[in-house]
C-alpha cells in the first residue's frame, strides 16, 4: 500500500544522506524530543507521571514514537521529485519503524530494576 518497489541497488541506499537522516530523525530525534522534554518537565516538577507509569515506561514509549508511516510517507512524496530518492526515503521509514518497534517492545518488556517495579525520576 505504501508503494515501495524494492528495485533499488542497496549499495545506492547509502549513496546520499537520505536514508541515514530519516532513520536518525525518526529514532533519535523523536526519542530526544519526547523523552528529553518530558523528563526535564518531571525534574522541574512541572508535571507528574500518571499513576502506575514509570520513567522506564516513558523511555519505552519514547522509543516507540520512532514508528512513523502515514505522515512520513506523505511528506516524502512532497519532498522528493527523484523516484530513487523517494524509494530511499520509504525504505528508511520502514527500517526506522521496525527498529523503533522492536527496541520499544524490548524496553517495555524488560524486568524492573528495583523491587517496586519503577525507576525513580529523582
Q: Give pLDDT tens digits along the chain (122 positions).
A: 556 666 667 777 777 889 899 999 999 999 999 999 999 999 999 999 999 999 999 999 999 999 988 888 889 989 999 988 888 898 899 999 999 999 999 999 987 666 455 555 54
Exposure string for 63-77, b = 16+ CB within 10 A, e = fewer = bbbbbbeeebbeebe
Number of domains in the chain: 1
Domain assignment present for 68: yes
Domain assignment present for 80: yes
Q: Where are the alpha helices (DSSP H) in the chain?
A: 18-24, 30-31, 37-43, 55-64, 70-79, 83-108
Domain assignment present for 31: yes
Which domain covers residue 80, as residue numbers?
A: 16-108
Amino acid at each position: 500500500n505504501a508503494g515501495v518497489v524494492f528495485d533499488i541497488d542497496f549499495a545506492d541506499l547509502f549513496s546520499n544522506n537520505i536514508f541515514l537522516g530519516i532513520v536518525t530523525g525518526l529514532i533519535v530525534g523523536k526519542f530526544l524530543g519526547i523523552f528529553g522534554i518530558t523528563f526535564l518537565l518531571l525534574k522541574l516538577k512541572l508535571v507528574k507521571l500518571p499513576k502506575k507509569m514509570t520513567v522506564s515506561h516513558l523511555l519505552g514509549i519514547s522509543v516507540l514514537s520512532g514508528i512513523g508511516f502515514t505522515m512520513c510517507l506523505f511528506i516524502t512524496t512532497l519532498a522528493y521529485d527523484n523516484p530513487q530518492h523517494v524509494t530511499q526515503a520509504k525504505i528508511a521509514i520502514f527500517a526506522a519503524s521496525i527498529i523503533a518497534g522492536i527496541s520499544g517492545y524490548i524496553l517495555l518488556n524488560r524486568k524492573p530494576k528495583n523491587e517496586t517495579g519503577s525507576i525513580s525520576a529523582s
